[in-house]
Amino acid sequence: MADPVHEFTEPWRPPEERQKPSQDDGKWRPKLISVRDFVDGFEAPDFLIEDMAQRRFLYSLTGRTGDGKTAVLTTLSLCLAAGQEFAGRRVEQGRVAYFAGENADDVRARTLMTAERLGVSLDDLPLYFLDKPFDIVGAREQIKKSAEELGGLDLVIVDTLAAFFQGEDENANVELGNFARDLRENLCTLPGGPSVIIACHPTKVATKSNLVPRGGGAFLAEVDGNLRVWSDDKETTELHWCGKLRGPGFEPIPFNLSKRTSDSVKDSKGRLIPNVVAEPLAETELQSVEAKARRDEDALLERMLNDPSGSMADWCRQLGWVGAKGEPYKSKVQRALAQLQDDRLVHKFRGRWTLTKAGKDEAKRRG
């Protein structure tokens, strides 16, 4: 087992290097220092994004497919490169490197649409891309040289962990822990001392209150904070943090996931291609969204009271929650049920959803 004192007082090194003697007699000796020398080593936090991301820190951004990871990161990258506030938070304008390893064409389309929505000109914007996955550790010198030529980097976005991971098992504790340390050593130390954000897929049993990256806990343990996006309806999403965050923390930030088109994004036949843009929600808009969700939940409670043996498909049809072809919009019911379950108004027993006593009382009161 590696010496724990050594791990905390020296930069991370592979185990085989840690075992090498660091003194002539072959013995490594920890040295106690005075409290004054200790506190004199304090470095004031240097926030790139107010209350959210510090320079030289490594963050994960975890979210399920379709919940807006890339949409939010695209908005963030453009705001920071242009020096615009990000969802009401001050940012330091700077150079951004975006490693688009999972779907570069999708990132291209989102960048065009989001820039248009934000009113940002892409001409001479200090936003730079790598559009293929590659070995981040093996390309360390090339990345460093590129950063030096640009005058340093302020933010690095890696989209996604799965695309750039070079190991065998994305859920392996040891491999993911080592990869997180590699990312810190190779990216956080680039010229400019950038903040680094790694887009991650969650564990299979992800919930809003337990939305952490894959990796058996080792990856989470190595990052300085885990940001997360969560969408209940695929129309809005919420940016917050989950699991850990070194710093003061921040309140949840709501975004509207708007389907947009742009004359800059068309298919080969000249037809507009829609894509999703993450737009911060104003307080009044957020209140409207929340009020609509409460109305949907109330309506479902009444249906469950009046038709307790009904299925989700039955309730959908009774409420008019159907698609263009009349198919039941079950995902809408599932989202409402999840919130009602958190409020202890419904529960699931032997595969069926039923009202609790509190749920029946609330449905009668609403009715």
In order of 142, 160, 310, the CA distances from 134 in angstroms are 12, 12, 52
Pick from 315, 342, 143, 196: which is nearest to 356 by CA? Answer: 342
Question: What pTM did the predictor assign?
Answer: 0.78
**Structural domains for the chain:** 4-39 (no CATH), 47-281 (3.40.50.300), 284-366 (1.10.10.10)
**Displacement of CA 104 from its chain's centroid (Å):** 18
**pLDDT at residue 274, as a whole number:** 92
C-alpha to C-alpha distance for 340 and 328, rounded to whole angstroms:
20
Pick from 210, 272, 205, 207: which is nearest to 244 by CA? Answer: 210
What 3-state class would DSSP assign to 356? coil
β-bridge pairing 253-260 and 53-54: unpaired
C-alpha to C-alpha distance for 58 and 68, rounded to whole angstroms:
20
b/e sequence 273-289, b meaning 16+ C-beta within 10 Å: eebbbbbbbeeeebeeb
**pLDDT at residue 167, as a whole number:** 87
**pLDDT at residue 180, as a whole number:** 94
Q: For residue 160, is the peptide bond before it cis, meaning its omega torsion is within 30 degrees of 0?
A: yes
C-alpha to C-alpha distance for 192 and 82, rounded to whole angstroms:
17
**pLDDT at residue 130, as a whole number:** 96
Per-position pLDDT tens, the chain of length 367: 344 333 334 455 555 555 554 455 666 678 899 999 999 988 888 999 999 999 999 999 999 999 999 999 999 999 999 999 999 999 999 999 999 999 999 999 999 999 999 999 999 999 999 999 999 999 999 999 999 999 999 999 999 999 999 888 887 888 999 999 999 999 999 999 999 999 999 988 888 888 999 876 899 999 999 999 999 878 899 999 998 999 888 999 999 999 999 999 999 999 999 999 999 987 666 677 778 888 999 999 999 999 999 999 999 999 999 887 888 888 788 878 888 998 999 999 888 999 999 999 999 987 7
**pLDDT at residue 332, as a whole number:** 83
Angle at which helices 283-306 and 312-319 pack, to 10 degrees? 120
